[in-house]
Structure 1
């Protein structure tokens, strides 16, 4: 496909097409602030779950201690009734970000199925609309609910990173666009 574009439209079109196909893979480890992507922030930040082949790296294992990575501003959240069975995992995920406290603020709701209306993607297991206006989680759709919660809370400040699969290794890894497993 890229070759046919190159032949037809030249090098620039081929390069733009390749960047669109490769997407954030070319930016591994770099997080984009939520403010720098206003269209995505308005629609929400969808997080999908994908399957990985046996033998590929499984990054879902939670570290011994929560990292509490720094954030640019303090924020607050509250767990709605739909998330009460998952409250402990959500609190572990929130603890990954310094300055994020439980109380008022962003409502966190849980669903019984994949999330729709988040701005795209398939098998969406988490969404943060408006960089902290509302968060939805499909906790039964992932192996590590705390990691999913940490990822969605991270969208209060950050966009997706270039990592393929979310994991606990760094703030950038938490902000990968997919939960793999």
Structure 2
């Protein structure tokens, strides 16, 4: 697995290129892809921590269901779901599946860790690809209503920050990638 070790200014330029928004529609058969990059810099204060935010409002209520492939990650998925008001677990909700590797059928590149097809028709997560499983889940659930934001790295600071197109894994004391 390659790691990026860049000076902050060069890092910003590289991230700008890596996370340029896609013009793909969620209704063309391809999903909203979320990528991962690994960085050798300190994590922002609001990254890599449990969300201690009240549920953010959404345009309409939705439901999800956790498939058996996600059983080991159910707690993190439920934590991510709590980021959005009106998102509840139901046996008839959007199926959420977990994969053992990068997601290759989403249409977003080679290091895709999450995908939401059709704004809530189906969600796939690669929990082993990120160091904040709840944030990845919150991001993919957010695609039920929202597209990617202009933030470069996802974090818990706001709905727009959760909807950044990249989950940035920070190496060092704060977190590591398994």
> Above 0.5 in TM-score?
yes
Gaps of 5+ in 2: 1-16, 170-178
Structure 2 residue 111 is the aligned partner of structure 1 residue 123 = yes
Deviations 1:31-74 (A, max 9, x none): xxxxxx77244310000000123246365332562331000000
Residue 66 of structure 2 aligns with which residue? 79
CA contact (8 A) 1:78 1:102 kept: yes
82-91 or 63-72, which deviates more: 63-72
Q: SS of the residue aligned with 2:114?
A: strand
Q: SS of the residue aligned with 1:51?
A: strand
Residue 157 of structure 2 aligns with which residue? 169
Comparing both structures, which one devotes a greater share of its residues to helix?
A: 1
Larger radius of gyration: 1
Spell out structure 1 runs of 4+ moving beyond 6 A.
Answer: none
130-139 or 41-50, which deviates more: 41-50
- Quote the RMSD (CA, aligned, Å): 2.1
Gaps of 5+ in 1: 1-19, 25-36
Number of aligned positions between the proteins: 150
Please give the TM-score of this superposition, normalised by the length of structure 2.
0.77
Change (3 A) 1:84 1:125: same
Change (3 A) 1:160 1:41: farther
Deviation at 1:121, TM superposition (A): 1.8
Deviation at 1:120, TM superposition (A): 1.9
Q: SS of the residue aligned with 1:47?
A: strand
Task: Write the mapping of 1:98-137 to structure 2, written as runs, cut at 5 A.
Answer: 98-103=85-90, 104-137=92-125
Please give the TM-score of this superposition, normalised by the length of structure 1.
0.76
